[in-house]
Amino acid sequence: MKYFVFKVQGADAGFIDAYPRNSPADWKFDKGISLASEFPMGGEVSFSDNYPDARDLHDFQPNLMSDLLVSGRARKVIESLEVTNAEWLPVVVKDHKGNAVGKDYAFLNLQGAEDAIDMERSVYRMNAIAKDQISRVKKLALKYDAIHPQAKMFRCTTHRRLILIREDVHAAFVQAGLTGFKVYNAEGWNGLEL
């Protein structure tokens, strides 16, 4: 099975720079824990005034928090793939003027993590504060036998901000014509986004 590093990218995309008001603390979104009980019902996010010309909506909307902000169309694809570790935190996306432009969006909060990174074969730098987390990958190597066979889209235990997807998930995203993302072969990935 092949895996890809999944990154949200979108030229001219309306850039979101904050969670909805009264959201859980930012750091909690990287933990792979349930946030549904803390997340504000009817939450709203807005295009950043720092990027006034960026107005496009994508299926994966770029955001400062590096989280997965997903359209209703992308959510249907992900649900059809039976990604069982998905928690959906619904929001309304508003443009620079406060008009609702995306009513069916949600943050995809992936639950749990897979022990997917081979710490002996990978080249990386550990985080100075969160000492159990990688801060920078220079060469990624995977432990394929440690990845649960049902894991399709997941965080990595030692680098929870890193999202990996299986090749069949990538194929489904491409076939559906989903926008706003780029993938990199996970094995040997140098940590850069080009």
pLDDT digits (tens, 9 = 90+) for 95-142: 999 999 999 999 999 999 999 999 999 999 999 999 999 999 999 999
Domain positions in the chain: 12-110
Structure confidence at residue 193 (pLDDT): 81
Query: What mean pLDDT value characterizes the chain?
Result: 95
- What confidence tier does 11 reach under pLDDT thresholds 50, 70, 90? confident
Q: Which of 121, 97, 89 is nearest to 189 (CA)?
A: 121
Q: Which residue has the tokens 């990935």?
A: 189
Quote the strand ranges of the chain, DSSP E: 3-8, 43-46, 60-61, 68-70, 86-94, 100-110, 123-126, 134-139, 153-156, 159-166, 181-185
Structure confidence at residue 70 (pLDDT): 98
pLDDT at 12 over 90: no
Q: Compare 98 and 66 and report the one with higher pLDDT.
A: 98
